[in-house]
Amino acid sequence: MRKPAVAGSFYLGSFTGLQRQIEDCFKHPLGPGSLPGEGRSALRRTLGLVSPHAGYVYSGPVAANGFFQLASEKKPRTVIILGPNHRGLGAAVAVGREGTWQTPLGSVEVDVGVGEEIVSMGRWAKWDDLAHSMEHSLEVQVPFLQYIYGSEFKIVAIAMLRQESEIAQDLGRAIAAVLKGKDGLVIASSDFSHYESQASAGRKDRLALEAILNLDPARLEDTVNSHNISMCGPGPVTAMITACKEMGAKKADLLRYATSGDVTGDYSQVVGYASVAVTV
């Protein structure tokens, strides 16, 4: 079992506290403004999400916008979560093999079969639990998924130490091939500009978001490099876009963009957060 690494720091560490914190994110002015409804469509149009991964007090309301949309659609069987490797541990593209992930809301089973197929089809993907031992970018997505889906889903967690476009697109193609004929969802965990002024972060992040909204990973790579955008997860986003396009995605919608300054009131050095839905 993979124990939570950031419970009590990035999000509250008790069942009741975390559930209340997630509900506050949904009801927050930067969130969707209300809790997910009880009704759920028999279909799911959303194939992928971009979702932020800071502490819930900062990015949770922005993240809630994506999960609010997912809550209105059919539950997926498997959720593949892609995130940057902040700790520098483990394989270049590390697929977590531990059988369950635990959070204060309970345990989620790992879809080892899907993980095995990704490892066998992807050139770079390797089984590696070390990369996940302290990594927060994937973990913070799981309680939101538990809140909207309960325990009726499985996950595959993939941490990317190497984020070059070639590697990310190889991973995306492997994911698409594995998910064809299966009921899957791909979440790319990423924050955007780090520790710049509100004006600078907003300008740079708009450029990166334009590439994402056009489902253009090559443009995203060029934009991030040419404008020196300190986005921490361009590789996961590239892999997600690549996979979703091969699975039939036609468009992407920006659900919410905000910065840490919009929460704290300090606009001198902010971090940018976005929630983007990729749909058929």
For 103-156, the pLDDT digits (tens) are 999 999 999 999 999 999 999 999 999 999 999 999 999 999 999 999 999 999
Whether 39 shows a pLDDT value over 80: the answer reads: no
Residue-range domains of the chain with CATH: 18-181+193-279 (3.40.830.10)
Distance CA 170, CA 30 (A): 35
Among positive and negative, which fits the CA dihedral 109, 275, 35, 20? positive
pLDDT above 70 covers what percent of the chain? 100
> 194-227: per-residue pLDDT in tens?
999 999 999 999 999 999 999 999 999 999 999 9
Whether 38 shows a pLDDT value over 90: the answer reads: no
pTM for this model (two decimals): 0.98
User: Any bridge partners for residue 270, and if so which?
Assistant: 196
Q: Is residue 248 very low, low, confident or very high in pLDDT (cuts 50, 70, 90)?
A: very high
47 HSE (CA, 13 A, CB side): 25
Q: C-alpha 258: how far from its chain's center?
A: 16
Per-residue pLDDT at 147: 98
